[in-house]
Amino acid sequence: MNTLRVKELLYDLQEFYMMSVRGLLGIFRKPFYFNDTIEQMDYAGAGSFLIIVLVSLFVGMALSLQLSAELSIMGLKNYTGKIVGISIIRELGPMVVAVVYTGRVGAGIASELGSMVLGHQVDTLRVFGVDPVKKLVTPRIISSLIMLPALTIIGDMVSLLGSYYIAVFISHQSATFFWSSIHQVLTFQNVFSGSFKPFIFGFLVTCVCCFMGLSTRGGSQGLRKSTTQAVVLSIIMIIVVDFVLTRILLYVLGFSV
Amino acid sequence: MIRFDQVSLAYNSINVLDGVSFSVDFSERVAILGGSGYGKTTILKLILGLIRPDSGRIFIDDDDITGKAEDELRVPRMKFSIVFQEGALFDSLNVKENVAFCLREYSRLTEEEIDQKVREILRVVDVEAAIDLTPEELSGGMHRRVAIARALAACEPKMFLYDEPTSGLDPVNADNICKLIVDLANGGKGFMIVTHKVTDALKVAERFMFLRDGKIQLDGNRKELLGATDPDIQQFLSELQCLTKMQGLKAD
């Protein structure tokens, strides 16, 4: 029984790898499904904008509040801007946006593809000679590779604004000092570190959710299972990959730990 | 021609097909009968290469498709057009776009020509008025008609495959769909219909296969089906006997 499960797991991993590579290579191969890509970008980008703004705003405000309270005790509350800036740009911004993106877009991808499998729509594509990976996965990968980094930049900006509001209007810090601290942390290393991660997260989340959706079996219960697994796996993957990327980027960009 | 040679398939160690062999010509009108879970739809999926058998061989025009890769299956699949159970229309596209799907993928027709062709096909299946509706706005009968229209728009199939085309429909709509299937077959293209409704099968088909326990229990014409002594087939035909009795009562 265990051998069978290991075999199934290895087979699934192989299928996941094949689908991800074919989905990525599909970007450079004809036919190009331009309209599907635009539709996905609208769903993933424009559709997620408000929720990302809302979540990022409160994350920035909460972080600023916590830091202001703790740093005031040590008489260092003017450093709030710098610490908040580094945390948001390098770490929290990309991760929070990716997690929210998974909850909204990833779950949507898994359930949509899952119901297409159960409703024989994917089989219909295959019968019509259309590659389901090219038609369904590639536009979603392109969409995530463009929209998640864009949403991360917007999320970072909103978080910093929320943080500014708390630091200046609640904690009564100097606005000039706050923005000059933020300006100081906007170095190439920090910005690169924060803007590289969303590309990887976007690709991984999309591939995991597409794979889980396309592997759906067994009616509505199967759909529930595959959607839940897609979201849980994606979030775990974001957190683990974030750690690995942070370690690699710190090394590559010359930070000493 | 479709040829199954000792095809077996099991799902979770349950034998769905057990050494099934048969040949069907593209011009034949075949109904595959049997209860739920007897492997009727599985046969259609095997013909299209959507699933692979555990053992045995499947030939389409003497071309062995059993071990073919997805890319290699494109040519044999082009010989068929399928109407899945519930229609399987693309939810994100309206009726026009659903029917135009294959035309956009494979033809170099202009927008105007596609529009004209789609309207022409929708007129054949009598749902031209629904051209701008989305699948969720369609009734069950219209849904099937649009699915048949989409199958008609496929690139010159040699045979149509219908998976429970009348399931979930009221008797009037089911009858209309049966008439449509026969009308379309009058052009010379055969079909294979999978159903558990004997009455519908008798309305459209000329050859009948009855599946049970992974084997074909009966493969014959109308006379052979109606005269079958097998208790399972008799039980299956009880729907028909019931109808006959009702018609007798009505006549009285």
List of domains in chain B: 23-51+61-79+161-172+180-252 (3.40.50.300), 91-156 (no CATH)
Amino acid at A79: Y
Q: Using CA atoms, how far apart are residues A246 and A255, in angstroms rounded to an integer?
A: 11
Q: What's the confidence (pLDDT) of residue B12?
A: 78
Q: Using CA atoms, how far apart are residues B105 and B103, in angstroms rounded to an integer?
A: 5
- Cα–Cα nearest to A148, from A210, A112, A94: A94
Backbone angles phi, psi at A165, to 5 degrees: -60, -45
B152 Cβ contact partners less than 8 Å away, ≥ 6 residues apart: B81, B121, B124, B125, B184
Contact between A127 and B105 using a beta-carbon 8 Å cutoff: no
Contacts of B90 in chain A (CB under 8 A): 121, 124
Element (H, E) at A59: helix A49-73
Any chain A CB within 8 A of the CB of B90?
yes
Check the CA dihedral B85-B90-B94-B97 and report its sign: negative
B100, closest residue in chain A (CA to CA) = A128
- In chain A, what are the domain boundaries? 33-252
- Decide if A147 contacts A48 (C-beta within 8 A): yes
Task: Select from B74, B86, B92 the Cβ nearest to the Cβ of A129.
Answer: B74
Give chain A's residues under pLDDT 50: none
Contact between A127 and B48 using a beta-carbon 8 Å cutoff: yes
Angle at CA of residue B220, ends B218 and B223, nearest 5°? 110
Does B128 score more than 60 pLDDT?
yes
Going by the DSSP 8-state scheme, the letter that residue B164 receives in this structure is: S
Q: Using CA atoms, how far apart are residues B205 and B164, in angstroms rounded to an integer?
A: 13
Q: Using CA atoms, how far apart are residues B176 and B195, in angstroms rounded to an integer?
A: 16
> For the whole model, what pTM was predicted?
0.87
Q: State the residue for tokens 């750690």.
A: A243
Task: Select from B45, B78, B88 the Cβ nearest to the Cβ of A129.
Answer: B78
Any chain B CB within 8 A of the CB of A123?
yes
A32 Cβ contact partners less than 8 Å away, ≥ 6 residues apart: none
Q: Using CA atoms, how far apart are residues B186 and A163, in angstroms rounded to an integer?
A: 73
Reported as a single tens digit per residue, the pLDDT across B169-184 is: 888 888 888 888 888 8
Task: Select from B74, B88, B101 the Cβ nearest to the Cβ of A120.
Answer: B88
Amino acid at B117: K
Mean pLDDT (chain B, rounded): 87
Q: What's the confidence (pLDDT) of residue A24?
A: 96
Pairing of strands B29-33, B190-195: parallel
> Maximum distance among all alpha carbons in chain A?
70
- Decide if B30 contacts B7 (C-beta within 8 A): no
- Decide if B8 contacts B53 (C-beta within 8 A): yes
- Decide if B88 contacts B147 (C-beta within 8 A): yes
Does B252 score more than 60 pLDDT?
no
Does B251 score more than 70 pLDDT?
no
What are the distances in angstroms from CA B214 to CA B19, B69, B76, B114, B118?
8, 26, 25, 43, 40
Does B155 score more than 80 pLDDT?
no
Beta bridge partners of B191: B29, B160
Contacts of B88 in chain A (CB under 8 A): 119-121, 123-124
Q: What's the confidence (pLDDT) of residue A53?
A: 97
Beta bridge partners of A119: none
Q: Using CA atoms, how far apart are residues A245 and B115, in angstroms rounded to an integer?
A: 51
Confidence of residue B119 (pLDDT cuts 50, 70, 90): very high
Check the CA dihedral B166-B209-B46-B183 and report its sign: negative
Contact between B77 and A127 using a beta-carbon 8 Å cutoff: yes
Give buried/exposed letters for A167-180 (b at 16+ CB in 10 A, else e): bbeebebeeebbee
DSSP letters for B171-203: HHHHHHHHHHHHHHHTTS-EEEEEES-HHHHHH
Does B56 score more than 90 pLDDT?
yes
What are the distances in angstroms from CA A129 to CA B79, B148, B171?
11, 18, 34
Check the CA dihedral B101-B105-B109-B110 and report its sign: positive
- Decide if A63 contacts A92 (C-beta within 8 A): yes
How big is chain A by its Cα radius of gyration, in Å?
21
Does B168 score more than 90 pLDDT?
no
Element (H, E) at B2: strand B2-11
Long-range contacts of A115-119 (CB under 8 A, 24+ apart): A115/A216, A115/A223, A116/A213, A116/B91, A117/A213, A117/A214, A117/A215, A117/A216, A117/A217, A118/A216, A118/A219, A118/A222, A118/A223, A119/B86, A119/B88, A119/B91
Q: State the residue for tokens 């045995």.
A: B56
Any chain B CB within 8 A of the CB of A121?
yes
Quick one: tokens of B157? 């199939």
Enumerate the H helices of A105-216 as residue ranges.
Answer: 107-118, 121-127, 132, 138-165, 175-185, 188-214
Q: What's the confidence (pLDDT) of residue B14?
A: 84
Confidence of residue B245 (pLDDT cuts 50, 70, 90): low
